[in-house]
């Protein structure tokens, strides 16, 4: 499944990173790492708020 159509090693986005010295493989690794960190952080965020105030 290609969730990002056109995202290949010859697409514009990876080519821009290549100009900065980041290989396609490293770019993919960085994106996966960032995604995993973001998911991990989202799991730590409290999504409910308990209050003793009466409305």
The pLDDT value recorded for residue 28 is 92
Q: What is the pLDDT of residue 43?
A: 84
Residue 54: what pLDDT?
A: 79
What is the pLDDT, as a whole number, of residue 44? Answer: 79
The full length of the chain comes to: 55
pTM: 0.65
Element (H, E) at 35: helix 24-44
> pLDDT digit string (tens) for 4-54?
777 888 888 899 999 999 999 999 999 999 999 999 988 877 667 778 887
- CA atoms within a 13 Å half-sphere pointing along the CA-CB vector of 29: 5
17 in Cβ contact with 27 (< 8 Å): yes
Residue 3: pLDDT above 70? no
Residue 25's CB is within 10 A of a number of other CB atoms, namely 10
């Amino acid at each position: 499944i290609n969730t990002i159509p056109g995202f290949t090693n010859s697409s514009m986005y990876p080519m821009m990173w290549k100009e900065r010295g980041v290989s396609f493989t490293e770019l993919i690794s960085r994106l996966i790492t960032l995604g995993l960190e973001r998911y991990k952080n989202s799991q730590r965020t409290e999504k409910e708020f308990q209050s003793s105030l009466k409305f």
